[in-house]
Amino acid sequence: MSQLPPQQQKSPAPAARVVKHSAIEGLMRGHGITPGTMDMAQVIELCGGIGGLPAEVPADRFSALLEWLARRYFPSRPLPEGLRSVGMRMLHGYRETLLGKIQLKALNLMGPDRLMRKLGEFIGRNSNFGERTSEQVGPQHYRVHFRGVPVPPEFYQGLCEAAFDIMEVKGVRITIERLGPEDVDFDLRWG
């Protein structure tokens, strides 16, 4: 027990904001990046790895990786559109990983309403930062709130669109409202 009065005790250092390896693996699979290639060497460098991919990647390095992938694989598209495409490919690649096969096995069975209620939990499994909540506004209409999430929202838009595509849900419309550098609301509708 500390002998210092409460006002003099040091607060624990905040945990580093990181993204787990499984998300990086999904990105690599979704873009066809394999070990030993020049693109993999670039990914390892962007992630701060030495000799291989680290188990966790700082959030700022993850965002830099997303931007590099968008420019590398979608060079003719504006950056926001490229980031959206990276998100779509990531979900398809993540489904090929062991963890993704387990977590997303029931995606086709759960339906869009249940997905929307659990979206924050699903997305948050691969990181230790931010708060993600959703609320139903009406039939086939949800608002999803991201707070303290330092990753481009277009990436998450692409993830959502890919999930709806896998579930064969048509007429999906997603709009993004930026409230601050790390705070975003998504308006999702379908049908």
pLDDT in tens, 107-144: 777 889 999 998 888 888 889 999 999 999 999 999 99
Q: Do 163 and 144 meet the contact criterion of CB atoms below 8 Å apart?
A: no
CATH 3.30.980 domain position(s) in the chain: 107-189
Q: What is the pLDDT of residues 20-57, one digit of tens each?
A: 998 999 999 999 999 999 999 999 999 999 989 999 99
Sheet holding 173-180, edge to edge: 131-138, 141-147, 183-189, 173-180
Q: What CATH number is given for 107-189 in this structure?
A: 3.30.980
Residues in the chain: 191
Q: Do 65 and 155 meet the contact criterion of CB atoms below 8 Å apart?
A: no
Residue 147 Rama label (left phi>0; alpha psi -120 to 50; beta): beta
C-alpha distances (whole Å) from 173 to each of 24, 165, 169, 181 are 27, 12, 11, 23
Using 50, 70 and 90 to split pLDDT, how confident is the model at 5? Answer: low
